[in-house]
Amino acid sequence: MAEPLVTFEQDGAIGTITLRRPEKFNALDIPMLRALETALDAAEMAEGVRVVLLRGEGKGFCAGGDVEAWAQMSAADFQVQWVRYGHRVFDRLARLRQPTIAVLSGHALGGGLELAAACDFRVAETQMKLGFPETSIGVVPGWSGTQRAVRRFGAQTVRRMALGGEILLAPEALALGIVDRVVATGNAHEEAKAWAEKIAERGPLATEAAKLMIAVAEGEESAAATEALASGFIALTGDLKAGVDAFKAKQKPAFSRS
């Protein structure tokens, strides 16, 4: 049986999603994107998980999209199967109910940086590099590198990487606000886990609600977040119970605004 390309594991309140294609520096292809989507669903539904870490196996976090996987696609397939599907998976990560931390123990380039940008926080080891090198091979960032990355890191920073071709080391990325913490080589996972444990001590419902409200302010999502917050509030009221009980009994509900 083939080894899984992406795994989800739970350790108490901390969930960990691991990209497992080290021989390709965890470059993403369609099977990996599908496996990542499945792992994100598992993390969302896992009881008791309050923070999710995203890491890569081996020396790299994620080298981005696997060029060999898309180079032979037709224009139509490239647009739909590659770009749009990748967007869907990355949006799934960005909108995960739990706070997320990208563990950058190796380089995050192109789609790898877009993947890290979809997380709430980023812990980087000092030797790792970040950038958007896509234009050097005649393509553009396609998984939110010119959209979400601009919202989160600023347009000028993204220009330097996507247009100017700058590859940044972790300390430079820290100064620009691309990563949140920089640690010595080999310490990213330990640092991220310790940070996650502190986050997990906070009120889980309040933390999830705060994440949703920040997402609305940031333009990450609005309609779904608004409905989720309103529905969560209603679910705690006596009116919902009265309505459901009346529906089951085929009676008219007596609402009390309780």
- Three-class secondary structure assignment of 76-116: HHHHHHHHHHHHHHHHHHHCCCCCEEEEECCCEECHHHHHH
DSSP label at residue 180: S
Decide: 17 and 29 in contact? Cβ < 8 Å. no
How far is the C-alpha of 41 from the C-alpha of 46, rounded, in Å?
Answer: 9
Cα–Cα distance measured from residue 112 to residue 73, given in angstroms and rounded to the nearest whole number: 21
Q: Which of 145, 30, 194, 14 is CA-nearest to residue 6?
A: 30
C-alpha distance from residue 145 to each of 1, 5, 65, 75 (Å): 35, 24, 12, 20
Fill in the amino acid letter for 130. L
**134 given a catalytic annotation:** yes
Query: Does the annotation mark 190 as catalytic?
Result: no
Q: Which of 114, 191, 208, 220 is catalytic?
A: 114
**Catalytic site residue from 57, 125, 134, 220:** 134
What amino acid positions are annotated as catalytic residues?
114, 134
